[in-house]
Each structure stands twice: as C-alpha cells, then as structure tokens.
Structure 1
C-alpha cells in the first residue's frame, strides 16, 4: 500500500487478490458491502446500505457500534465506468455532528492476477482530517474489502 498526501487530498493504493470486476462489485454492491463493512468487527454493529448504481444515483450508508453512535455517508455517483473507474461526491457526518463533503475517485486496474485499487479523495477541510482518513478510515475499509475478497476467493 502506498499513500501520498497534499493539503486537501489523499491518494492510497492497495493490490487486491481478485480481478477488477469482482473488486468493483464488492465495492459497489449493497449486499456485499453489508458483509465487508463489519467483517473484522469483534461485536456486530449497525450497517444499513442502499445503492442506486447509476450516474446521478446515490449510495447511502449508515454504520456504527450502536444506535447512538452512527456515521452516515451519502455518495452521489458522478462517473461509473465498470469495472475501471468510479467517481462520487461524498457527504458524510459523524456522531458528533461534523459534516464534510469530498470527491472520491476509485480506479480498478488489472495487476498481476489481481487488482490495483487506487483511491484519490479531495476536498478535506484540514490536513488533520485528511490524515485521519489516510491512517484510519481508508486503511480500515481496504482491510475489510481485502478480508471479504480473500474469504470469497477461498470459497471458489
């Protein structure tokens, strides 16, 4: 995994063990997301996801450990080029009421029998928020997606 940051942008990569189609589907399918969102949790939390995968459509996710500690994110799909590229405008809120709007571009490139997934997220209000997303949010999400894909790969 590599990471590169500017003041309001992050760039992260991860090589995943399956092809771009499977990674794209795991990233965008609501039922698959419901599994990987909580795959590494010791205690089940709350995960609600709805996806309308079309340009102008939205993905809404609500998750957290309990009803009083919920994160919410609504992404509006700006570009969908399955299985190569996805661009969204993301509006997120945390349990403390902080909200943030960013742009997220995810690319899926075939790479040595798997997929090189690259995330570029821009529009962070502070470098501290960006750094939190680099160190916690995206690392956690990519760890979960990878665990889900490895588990599915073991079943085939």
Structure 2
C-alpha cells in the first residue's frame, strides 16, 4: 500500500523549564544549535551551522549520523516571519531523509509563549505523509530531550 499524500501537519506543544528568551536563543544561536539539534544518534557539526534570524534570513545546518558519517542530511531554511523571543516562521528544504528521495520542501512555524518563567513551544511543520510525520515527531522528541539538558545548564 502506498503512503498517503503529503497533507499532514505535525503539531507539537512542549513546555521547557526555561524562560522564553533562552529557548528562543537555542533556536537561533549556532553554538547552541550544534549542541542539541537532531535526534539522538545524529549530531550537527558546529562548522555547518549558519543563522541569520531576520525576515529573508536563513538557518543552515547539516545533521550527520554518528554511526555512519557519510549519512548527511542538509537543512536549509529561509525565514519569512521573525519576532524576537516570540516567533520563527519559514520554509525548509531538507535532503538525505531516510526513506525519502530528493529534497523535501516544507514550512515551519515556531511559537514561543511565556508560561510564568517556563516556555510553551508550539511547533507546526509540514506537509508530511503519515509515515514522515511519525518519524519527524520522534526526531523532534529526541532533539527536545537534548535541548532540555542544554537548557538545564
């Protein structure tokens, strides 16, 4: 049976035990991105990360498999909306996703909400097939576990 068409939107809401400014910074600071981005089993070499957090700016990075460094997944995003400490919106092109041929194009919306000293992040990304949505949800969950550890320092 063929996978369903790419119509699913991934929505993840997560509370981080850190102020909104710190969580936002973790998404736009190249040094921090290199420490947490990517699911467990993948790393992001610092020299692959570039961020220009403004409308028309970009976020570029490469996820690399820890087990097989030849397995690389470049991510190139362009920001279409940026409100410091509140909102990052853009489009993404991602290559090298296991089970996916070519370049995947999608949108991403990250909302950072103050929750009394904590941060409620609402992430929207897509469109995905059902299979890709599930894989991506697992990947974000794994990444956010690494982000929790970084924010605890």
Measured at CA, do residues 129 and 18 of structure 1 come closer, stay the same or move farther in structure 2, by a change above 3 Å?
A: same
Comparing both chains, which one has the higher relative contact order based on Cα–Cα distances under 8 Å and sequence gaps of 6 or more? 2
| Equivalent-residue separation in structure 1 for 2:22 and 2:147 (angstroms) | 11
Pairing 1:86–2:111 present: no
Listed as ranges, the gaps of 5+ residues in structure 1 are: 1-5
Shift of 1:45: 4.7
Q: Root-mean-square deviation (CA), in Å?
A: 2.2
Shift of 1:116: 0.4
Aligned to 1:147: 149
Secondary structure of the residue aligned to 1:123 is strand
Measured at CA, do residues 22 and 46 of structure 1 come closer, stay the same or move farther in structure 2, by a change above 3 Å?
A: closer
1:7-18 superposed matches below 5 A: 7-18=7-18
1:31-110 superposed matches below 5 A: 31-37=31-37, 45=43, 47=45, 48-64=48-64, 65=66, 66-94=68-96, 97-110=101-114
Secondary structure of the residue aligned to 1:140 is helix
Aligned to 1:24: 24
What TM-score, normalized to structure 1? 0.81
Listed as ranges, the gaps of 5+ residues in structure 2 are: 1-5
1:106-117 superposed matches below 5 A: 106-117=110-121
CA deviation string 1:100-140 (max 9, x = no partner) = 1110100110113210011011222x111111111x21111
What TM-score, normalized to structure 2? 0.83
